Amino acid sequence: MVILQPCSIGFATGGRTFFLWGGCMMMHADDFRQDLYGLVTALKNGGYSDDMTLAAIAGQHKRLITSPPVAVFPHPLASDLSFSRYWNYLRKQTFVLESYVSKVNWIMNRALFGVHFYLSWGFVCPYVMALVHIATTLRAPYSAIVKEAAGSSCGLKLVSFLLICTLTELVSMWNLTRVEIQLCNMLSPEGPQDSLRSYNWGLVFVAVLVDNFLYPISAIRSHFSQSINWSGIRYYLRDGKISKIERENSSKYTDLGGKHLYGKKTYPAGKSLLGYLSISLAQWHQPKKYDV
């Protein structure tokens, strides 16, 4: 949630945005068939990031990118997560910034790299300084020098202001999550209904700090390694394009999503498989409650 929730802001911009979600995007079939703006050629010739590439091309040629709210679908996290799996996932998020197919794509990725780097550690640093101020205040009674330094600073006032900002941030995240949960429950009524009760907001806050602290480190690691393991397949970049692919003897998942969302579907007893498929097809053609 911490990693991907900021991406959902694009769905609240009135339908117009400037970025895409890889793996869940669509474009006009004719544009793809005709290789408009050289998109297909770019992806064939060493292209790696589908969403960043398409976003850069769309921005360069003033093409509309829209994120309709009805296109939001929940994807539960896996239950067997580990830090190594999270780290590899974070590496994949920063690795895409190293791939590009054009000058505009490169500039866009470098801008995202720099801005995210600055904002991530800019978010973490105040909390580090707050710990320093608190430690200084606790140490002051036992040292005259520290007491004098603490008395001449406004550290505790800054800590109090940071606390207010943190509470405001958590309330905002709570409200955004509430809206997203309502939307996901409406769009996926057949799945298990999510609830705010399942979130530990103390852990969410810690996760925000950890994620923002590790993001620049991951970005630097991706920049110098120029390779990534994606579910047993290792990709190597050279000049922003895929130069080599190696298949490793590993079947471990390297993303964070659950693989079995709602269990295996079965057809009712007493009915043939063909009859069940006919009923399912008829239901699929019926208008849905939330069609627009």
Rounded CA separation 29/277 (Å): 28
In angstroms, the CA 219 to CA 109 distance is: 11
In a domain, 269, yes or no: yes
Listed residue (39, 18, 21) closest to 111, CA to CA: 18
DSSP readout, the chain?
-TTTGGGGGGGGSTTB-S---TTS----HHHHHTTGGGHHHHHHTT---HHHHHHHHHHHTT---B--GGG----PBPSS--HHHHHHHHHHHHHGGG--SSHHHHHHHHHHHHHHHHHHHHHHHHHHHHHHHHHHHHHGGG-HHHHHHHHTS-HHHHHHHHHHHHHHHHHHHHHHHHHHHHHHHHH-TTSPPP-GGG--HHHHHHHHHHHHHHHHHHHHHHHHH-EEEETTEEEEEETTEEEEEEE-S-----S-B-S-SS----PPTTS-HHHHHHHHHHHHHSPPTT--
52 in a domain, yes or no?
no
User: Do 210 and 79 contact (CB within 8 A), yes or no?
Assistant: no
Please work out, in degrees rounded to the nearest 5, the angle formed at the alpha carbon of residue 28 by the alpha carbons of 23 and 30: 125
Asked if residue 76 lies in contact with residue 263, where contact means CB atoms within 8 angstroms, the answer is no
Asked if residue 146 is part of any domain, the answer here is yes
pLDDT given at position 174: 87
Q: How many C-beta atoms surround the C-beta of residue 129 within 10 A?
A: 14
| Full pLDDT tens readout for the chain, 292 residues | 555 555 555 555 556 776 676 666 777 888 888 888 888 888 888 888 777 888 888 888 888 777 766 666 666 666 777 788 888 888 888 888 888 888 888 998 898 889 988 999 999 999 998 888 888 777 766 666 656 665 666 777 888 899 999 999 888 888 878 877 887 788 777 777 778 787 788 888 888 899 899 999 999 999 999 888 877 788 898 888 888 888 876 555 555 555 544 444 444 444 444 454 455 445 444 444 444 3
Length of the chain: 292
Domain with 240, as residue range(s), is 81-281
Residue 253 is predicted with a pLDDT of 53
Residue 12 lies in a domain: no
Q: With respect to residue 67, please indicate whether it lies within any of the assigned structural domains.
A: no
- For the chain, how many structural domains are there in total? 1
Residue 234 φ/ψ, nearest 5 degrees: -100, 125
In a domain, 69, yes or no: no
Q: Is residue 290 part of a domain?
A: no
Q: What is the model's pTM?
A: 0.70
In a domain, 257, yes or no: yes
